Every structure is written in C-alpha cells, then in structure tokens.
A and B are shown apart, each in its own frame.
Chain A
Amino acid sequence: MTVAAGRQAPIYQGTRIPGPIPTVLQVDPAVREDGDILEVNFGPNHPSTHGVLRLIVELNGERVEGVEAVIGYLHTGFEKNMEQKTWWKAITYPERIDYLSFQINELAFVLAIEKLLGVQPPPKATWMRTLLCELSRIHSHLIWLGTGALELGAISLLWYCFRERDAVLDLFELVTGVRMHTRYFQAGGLAEDIPAGFFTECRKFADMFPARVDEYEALLDRQAIWLERTKGIGLLSAEDAIALGQSGPVLRASGIDWDLRKTQPYLAYDQIDFDIPVYTNGDVYDRYKVRMDEMRQSTRIVQQCLDGMPEGPWIVDDRKIVLPPRHELHTSMESLIHHFKLVTEGYRVPAGEVYVGVESARGELGCYVVSDGGPKPWRVKFRAPSFVALEATATTVRDGLVADLIAILGSLDTVMGDCDR
C-alpha cells in the first residue's frame, strides 16, 4: 500500500511553521488590535488532552489565533532514576514512560544494552519480541482510536476498542503474568519461555481481529460527522513534517513512505512480509486511515510470527548477564553465586555510547545510552515521539477552529507520560 503513482498536489504551498518560535503560534498584532481575543486555558486537566497537557489558546470567536503548548506536568524524572539503578533494574522504567506501547519502549532500552554488551539474542527471543511489539502497537492504536473517536462524539467505539484491547492484555497476561508493564524482555532474550497455551490463544485473536477493524471502520467511515470533523483538518505538509521531526503515522499520513521497520530493519522485520500504509492528504482523516491500516498490517505480522516462531532457547546462555535457571540454584554453587551477584550488583556494561531507534506506535522512539563501564547507566536519554509530536501543535492548528483543536491533538496521538518522561 505504498504511495499511489505520481505525486499529488502539495498539501499546501510553502511552510506553515510559525515564526520566530516554531512551536508557538502567536496572534497577529493587527488581529489583536481590533479583534476580541480571548485567552483560554485548555488543560492541564481536560478529558481530551490525553493526560496533563496544557494549551494556552487565544481565540477570536471560534478561530484559534494563537496557541502554545505547556508540558511537564507529568515529568517524573525517569532518566535520572535510571542512572541510579543497575542496568537490569532500569529495564522496568522505559515501559512506564509510554504506558500504551510499553513493550516497544522496553525493547528500545534492551536493544541498547545488547548493543553495548555485544550480545545477540537467540532467534526465538527475536521473533517473540517482534510479535509482542506488534501486539503493543495494536494495543496502542486501539486506545488511540477509542479515545480519539470518543472526543469527537463517537462514544460507542470506545467500548468496542476496549473490548479488543482487553483481549490483547489477556495475551500479555498469558505470556508474562502481568497485563501492563510486563518486563518480559531481558538483555539477552526473554525473561521466561513462552507458555504452551499462548499460540492457540494468540492465533484466535489474530484470526478474529481483522474483522473487528473492519467493524470500526464501518462505524466511522460512512459517518458524516466523523468525515466532516476529520477531513481537511490539521494539515501538515511533508516538508513541514520533516522539519518538525515528525515520525510514525503522522509522517506517513503526509505522504512520506518511511518506517524504521523497513528502512532500518531490527528484530525479525526483514524476514516478514508487510506493507507500510502511506496516505497523502496530511490531515486528521489520513492519520486515522494510516493507523487503521497499521492495525491490519500488525495482525499480518503477528500471524507470520506465529507461523515462523523458531524453536530453541529463549535467552542467551551467558551467566554473566543472564540469571541461571531456577532449579540449578539448589544444586550448583556457581549458579547460586551468579544469581546473587546479578541480583545485588547487576552486570557491568562496557563503556561506550549508542543510539537505538525503533518504530514505536507513535513514531521513532530513540534511546541514547552512555555507559562508563559500571553497573549502572551513566546517562539514558529517550527520544520520545510524543514530545516531538506536540511540537507540531502550532503548525497543525493554524487557521483551525477550537473544536478542531481536539481532533488535531487526538490525531497527533500523544501520551503525556512519554512526552514528559
């Protein structure tokens, strides 16, 4: 489903990024002179801000003349906290940063550790990670769709989306024992083997899910209100999207065929057949279409992962970084020592700096890690896709109405935990 042959007309001429501050839309002095400018605080506690985002909106009637996003209300110092924890304890933190696509966040950090360590996880772990990351993507898109449609008045969709989301969480619970924040990925592979019943249950879900996506689309795609409120709203051109660092579905809705799973294949993505949905209008509707198609593609990937799941070990056999099997602790002194050392002191990671970028449900999720050779990360920095997505607020709401603001914010799909870290 790549771009239709022949480039369509540009979404708009020139650039719409406001100046001099690219992220703040300032009221035109002439309008401020004679207009009736009303300054409204949108958030930080507003049901459609997807968390605690505050927008200072300046309105002229219904028109948005000025907007500035104020973030930081959910800043919890994850990066600082991670510097205080041993490498393997720090793995629990990234998941809590973006609490909707948690497995992908965990993956970015684990891949960074593995890159520093020079460890290659066994194929079974790689494939299972691919599978779980795609389920995470489905999970994240379901919540985006449910809440995004809810905000525009399509209330019933929320219940359908949360029904399927619950099925995904059941699968996570089946594999890892917990529904969210699973901490299933370890440096070197997976925490535990895949339980026997998982494959049948997951296949049931993968067989059922595409029809459900069709159902959602049937509810929205022929609904006049939905179309009216999403088509031609929140425009973002390809050039502006790149300049503003947008990635993921927002970028692909602006006509750019770019997905790190294809351009910089990691995990098992280079052995899997899937398409990148690309739409060219750069509006809220196209962002919705991209995500709907992505859910279908993710299901395809899940099915291929189920078919191609290799046999064998789920974690590398390196006792310096991986816990010994539980049963060995009763019989082997070495295993006991390794277990004790790993749990108390953790493992040391060779000095160096790496940047790992993965395609999260929201776009490029980067993890920059510096190690000094000690048992704790020296510095961890996340390139949070939600943080970058909100930089596009001023550009996308330009010339919009206050009601569109909600549709546009929803279409950028920000998670404030991810944004503020």
Chain B
Amino acid sequence: MSWEDVPGFIETREDRGEVTVVVETAKLREAATYLRDERGFNFLSDIAATDYLGWNERTVAGYWGHRSGRDINLPGSWGLARKPAPKENRFSLSYQLLVLVSGAREAPRLRLQAWCDDGEPVPSVVSIWPTADWHEREAFDLMGIVFEGHPSLKRILMDDDWEGHPLRKDYPIGGEPVRFSGAE
C-alpha cells in the first residue's frame, strides 16, 4: 500500500510486519484527518512518546550498580553490541492506528510517527480522535511534550505541582525526597 499521499509524508518503514509512516510534525493534523477519513483508520489505540536522549551514545539503558550506589552516567560494563542508527530529534510520538470495522476478520494497523525536540509544540489530534485527550495529557505529563490545541493540557498521572517529566531520560532515578503534606 502506498503512503506517499499522506500529507506531510517524510518516509515509511516496514519492520517485523509493522508499517510506520513518518510525517512532518507541523502537518500532523492534516495527516491524521486524511488517514481517518480517506484510509479508514477510525480507531486510535495509543499515543506513545519516546525520549531518545542518549540514544546511540552511552549505554544509558545498561548501567550497573556498584558500591557507592548507581550512577546513570557511568558507562555500562560493556557497550552496545551494534550501535543503532542515530535519531535527528529527541522525541518521537507514535500514534497506533487501527481500522476497526464491526464484524471484520482483519485488523489493519499503522504507526503514524512524528518527531519533535524539547519545547517544540505538536498539533493536538483530540478533535480527530477524542480518545487522544488523556493520551496527550499523559505524554505531556510524563515526557513534557506540548500539544497545541489541546482543550485542557494539564498533568494527569503526577501531582499538579510536580516538577519535571519522569519518563525523560535525564530525569534522576532514585533519591527522590518523600514529600509529606504540610511539611515546609
């Protein structure tokens, strides 16, 4: 199937039977509308934000504990077997789309992907798939991605006054002071 006529089309990848279509972030809403109305992707399963900070550099994901505790910045005991291809932007947003037809016996899926950097706004798709409301709030809360046009972009899983975005790779692990209510 050809995906070139998706608005803002950049590239398409097929890996392990899954198709990913990367589009320009600015054209995300046009691409989403086109996919829903012309290609039948009426069901948005999920929006997954991924932070690629440190990707392809050190084994941030592979550090080991030692006597003085754990240090995320120490290189792992061994490097990556094969370095993955570097990424141009820091964050990716993966929209898992699905053609959901009652009584169908197939489930065509597509991953719509857009990339952005820290603080760069991403168009919201709440007006296209209402279910995106909480998914976008979660991506904002845990990854700090700002969605432009979201009707109520506020934290969802963390406290309203929480500082930082926990799922970012530069967010400290452990050593978080316990906060008691009423404590100064």
A245 touches B96 (CB 8 A): no
Residues in B neighbouring A79, C-beta threshold 8 A: 142, 167
Looking at B43, B77, B131, the one whose CB has the most chain A CB atoms below 10 A away is: B131
Q: Tell me the complex Cα distance, A353–B20, Å.
A: 10
Q: Tell me the complex Cα distance, A391–B134, Å.
A: 7
Residues in A neighbouring B42, C-beta threshold 8 A: 242-243
B134 touches A372 (CB 8 A): no
**Known contacts A23-B133, A354-B18, A373-B82: does B61 contact A368 (CB below 8 Å)?**
no
- Contacting B96 at CB < 8 Å: which of A3, A23, A355? A355
Q: Tell me the complex Cα distance, A162–B105, Å.
A: 35
A75 touches B158 (CB 8 A): yes
Looking at A2, A373, A376, the one whose CB has the most chain B CB atoms below 10 A away is: A373
Query: What residue in chain A is nearest B126 (Cβ atoms)?
Result: A22
User: CB within 8 Å of B: which of A349-382?
Assistant: 351-355, 357, 364, 366, 368, 370, 372-379, 381
Residue A98 at the B interface, CB < 8 A?
no
B157 touches A75 (CB 8 A): yes
User: CB within 8 Å of B: which of A65-89?
Assistant: 71-72, 75, 77, 79-80, 83-84
A355 touches B18 (CB 8 A): yes
A23 touches B46 (CB 8 A): no
0/1 interface trace, chain B 55-90, chain A, CB 8 Å (1 if under): 110010110000000000000111011111000000
- Contacting B173 at CB < 8 Å: which of A80, A116, A351? A80
**B85 CB to nearest A CB, Å:** 8
B100 touches A373 (CB 8 A): no
Q: Tell me the complex Cα distance, A322–B108, Å.
A: 32
**A410 CB to nearest B CB, Å:** 20
Residue A257 at the B interface, CB < 8 A?
yes
User: CB within 8 Å of B: which of A337-352?
Assistant: 345, 348, 351-352
**A256 CB to nearest B CB, Å:** 4
Residue B44 at the A interface, CB < 8 A?
yes
B134 touches A377 (CB 8 A): no
**B64 CB to nearest A CB, Å:** 9
Looking at B55, B62, B81, the one whose CB has the most chain A CB atoms below 10 A away is: B62
Interface residue total, chain B, C-beta cutoff 8 A: 58
B157 touches A370 (CB 8 A): no
Q: Tell me the complex Cα distance, A374–B84, Å.
A: 10
A373 touches B105 (CB 8 A): no
**Known contacts A71-B157, A263-B107: does B152 contact A383 (CB below 8 Å)?**
no
Q: Tell me the complex Cα distance, A364–B107, Å.
A: 12
User: CB within 8 Å of B: which of A247-264?
Assistant: 255-258, 260, 262-264
Q: Tell me the complex Cα distance, A17–B132, Å.
A: 13
A373 touches B104 (CB 8 A): no
Query: What residue in chain A is nearest B96 (Cβ atoms)?
Result: A355
A257 touches B103 (CB 8 A): yes
Looking at A24, A75, A255, the one whose CB has the most chain B CB atoms below 10 A away is: A75
**B145 CB to nearest A CB, Å:** 13
- Contacting B104 at CB < 8 Å: which of A263, A352, A390? A263
Residue B12 at the A interface, CB < 8 A?
no
A245 touches B80 (CB 8 A): no
B46 touches A368 (CB 8 A): yes
Q: Tell me the complex Cα distance, A244–B132, Å.
A: 8
Query: What residue in chain B is nearest A348 (Cβ atoms)?
Result: B81
B62 touches A375 (CB 8 A): yes
Q: Please give 14 more A-B residue pairs, beta carbons under 8 A apart, in addition to A354-B16, A357-B107, A372-B56.
A: A71-B156, A72-B156, A115-B16, A243-B131, A245-B130, A245-B131, A258-B100, A355-B111, A372-B55, A372-B84, A373-B81, A374-B61, A376-B61, A381-B50
Which A-B residue pairs are the 10 nearest by beta carbons?
A245-B131, A22-B130, A383-B46, A264-B107, A381-B48, A72-B157, A351-B84, A263-B107, A75-B157, A376-B61
Where the two chains meet, the residues of A that have a C-beta atom closer than 8 Å to any C-beta of B are: 2-3, 17, 20-24, 71-72, 75, 77, 79-80, 83-84, 115-116, 118, 238, 242-245, 255-258, 260, 262-264, 345, 348, 351-355, 357, 364, 366, 368, 370, 372-379, 381, 383, 387-388, 390-391, 420-421
A-B pairs with beta carbons under 8 Å apart, 15 shown: A17-B130, A71-B156, A72-B157, A75-B158, A245-B131, A257-B102, A257-B103, A355-B111, A357-B109, A366-B46, A374-B62, A377-B61, A378-B50, A379-B50, A388-B134
